[in-house]
Structure 1
């Protein structure tokens, strides 16, 4: 059964709902407001660093920013990661009745996403730092926010492989007496869809930084 090569982007709330469904968990409630959550997550040191970034007046270099080349680099990385997630031959080579190889496959792709998107985010911040004062300030704020929120984000995303294993075992048990491998097709598609959703989540800050680059009045061309 061939998998479609294109799927719609999934927003962060949809990613969380998909995790809850695969893990057979209750849907998360609205919970506290974002500002309240941030207040719980940011310690004094990070709060001071964030305040300095917001209140400071960075020097404005206003050098031409190569927006097109930065956008092309982001598109290449995104396409490479997207293709890696959808590589059906990788999944076909894994043992069909053992969840452990699928777990390792998921972890490997998560590490690739983390490394590649982290490099892109730093690259875009470096480009913003050479732009206007507002862009340079945004680069500083984003650096502080990444240092503050990245550990929590990684801890949450680290739960994905274990939830996929539970989903695998549940499907396998439910279809123990059924002929064919329809449940395996379902699991592989769920795995790919979840990783694609995670990819979109990881690109949210990159897309925002790229949009800030495009707003530069001194944008150059490669």
Structure 2
């Protein structure tokens, strides 16, 4: 029997990673990005964009946040914010491997002060609710820190020239127009990961059941079963969730990279 080959999916790493982990055959969108945007923006969004392109409102952008100053200062602040968020993902106690979590969380970023606390009491007690809370907490940190950074970059752009001020206003208008849809789409990531969590747990339980049915030493001698480390599936899931969060961080930083590119040319 011929197994149908899944077509390669293009697009952001976050989408491709989620499709692989959830074993979903996601089809390529039938519409182009511009066509989809036209369906997402209503008439009030169109008016806001038209006003931004017309200029004359850059003072609002400047008043919205404190400018960063030079292009070098902007680059440095972007690197700092991104590194802080990446460390928060890497050092979150919920997502650390079991053997590392016992070392404590000294030195974690301050944005994790209110993160949910880990409670490892064995494989049977593993509860996806803890991981969902962790994911949502890190998402909120990304939204807050990147949103603040984006406003400061816009304020810096608006002080360069009228053309850069119009670009800053367009970015602000697009952020407001797409904010609700972005939050809705990104909120589906922890929902999708729950299925991956359950599949990994079920697969290990089945392997352990096979090992109990046939003595492990005998199975290994016959080359039938590898050594199974109970609970290993949970560390696999932790690693996969970190990968998804890093991919989401990359996606959320794309508007920041666009503003930085404009600052380099201004």
Q: Distance in 1 between matches of 2:233 and 2:56?
A: 57
Could you list the per-position Cα deviations for residues 20-39 of structure 1 after superposition, in whole angstroms to 9, with x for gaps in the alignment? Answer: 22233222313201111111
1:82-139: CA deviation from partner (whole Å, max 9, x where unpaired)? 0111116443344352211111111100000010000001110011110112111100
2 CA distance for matches of 1:31 and 1:204? 23
TM-score relative to the length of structure 2: 0.71
For residues 136 and 252 of structure 2, the distance between their equivalents in structure 1, rounded to whole angstroms, comes to: 15
Q: Cα offset for 1:52?
A: 2.1
Bigger CA radius of gyration: 2
The answer to whether residue 24 in structure 2 is matched with residue 25 in structure 1 is yes
Q: Could you say if the C-alpha distance between residues 18 and 59 of structure 1 is closer, same or farther in structure 2, counting changes exceeding 3 Å?
A: closer
Q: Is the counterpart of residue 130 in structure 1 residue 180 in structure 2?
A: no
Does the C-alpha gap of structure 1 residues 64 and 106 become closer, same or farther in structure 2, counting only changes over 3 Å? closer
Counterpart check, 1:86 vs 2:90: yes
Preserved CA contact (<8 Å) 1:53 1:137 = yes
Report the TM-score when normalising by structure 1: 0.84
Aligned-residue CA RMSD (Å): 2.2
Partner of 1:166: 195
Q: Give 5+ residue unaligned stretches, structure 1.
A: 1-10, 217-222
User: Across the two proteins, how many residue pairs are aligned to each other?
Assistant: 204
Correspondence for 2:259: 209
- Find 1:69's aligned residue among 67, 70, 73: 73
Distance 1:74 1:14 in 2: 21
Where 1:175 maps in the other structure, the secondary structure is helix
Identify the structure with bigger relative contact order (alpha carbons < 8 Å, sequence gap 6+): 1
